Amino acid sequence: MVRVMASGVFDILHPGHLHYLEQAKRMGDELVVVVACDDTVRRLKHEPVTPQEMRRRMVESLRVVDRALIGHQGDMFEIVKEIRPDIIALGYDQEFNEEDLRSKLLERGLDVDVRRVNECSDDLNGTRKIIHRIIEEHGRSNEKDRYC
């Protein structure tokens, strides 16, 4: 049984997330996904659109996901110790250096393979792209309303 761990924010689920998780699942037998807690999202990215438990439930409902957990604040390696994955699957756009991450895992006694998935070519493969597209469309809609 090969356990794969994937992680992310998953704020607005989109084709890029599905692509990432499908590739991660193909790396092993069991896919455990760590969904970033709200405080981590605020600290590293933005104010979450959806709360952490809702994001966790959405991710766990995907057919390719065996289990989804909310990540801890602070030391990201604590959740790795709990899950004990054989492989950590990184998203194509996650800012980890694979060798550096492997090294830090080994320092903590965690012998985990680190692999990166391929980029998704879908147009709306990122949460920020989706938000910007909604804002653009909303702006055009408001512009039309003024002239009707």
CATH architecture of 3-123: 3-Layer(aba) Sandwich (3.40)
| Separation of alpha carbons 35 and 27, rounded Å | 19
Q: Return the pLDDT at 140.
A: 57
Residues 6+ apart with CB under 8 A from 83: 3, 5, 32, 34, 69
| Separation of alpha carbons 104 and 102, rounded Å | 6
Q: Is pLDDT above 60 for 117?
A: yes
Residue 144 vs residue 51, higher pLDDT? 51
pLDDT-derived band at 132, boundaries 50, 70, 90: low
Kindly tell me the number of DSSP H helices and DSSP E strands found in the chain: 6, 5
**How confident is the model over 12-26, as a mean pLDDT?**
92
Domain ranges across the chain: 3-123
Q: Return the pLDDT at 124.
A: 47
Q: Which of 6-10, 123-127, 136-140 has the lowest mean pLDDT?
A: 123-127
The predicted model scores a pTM of: 0.82
Strands laid side by side in the 113-116 sheet = 67-70, 30-35, 3-8, 87-90, 113-116
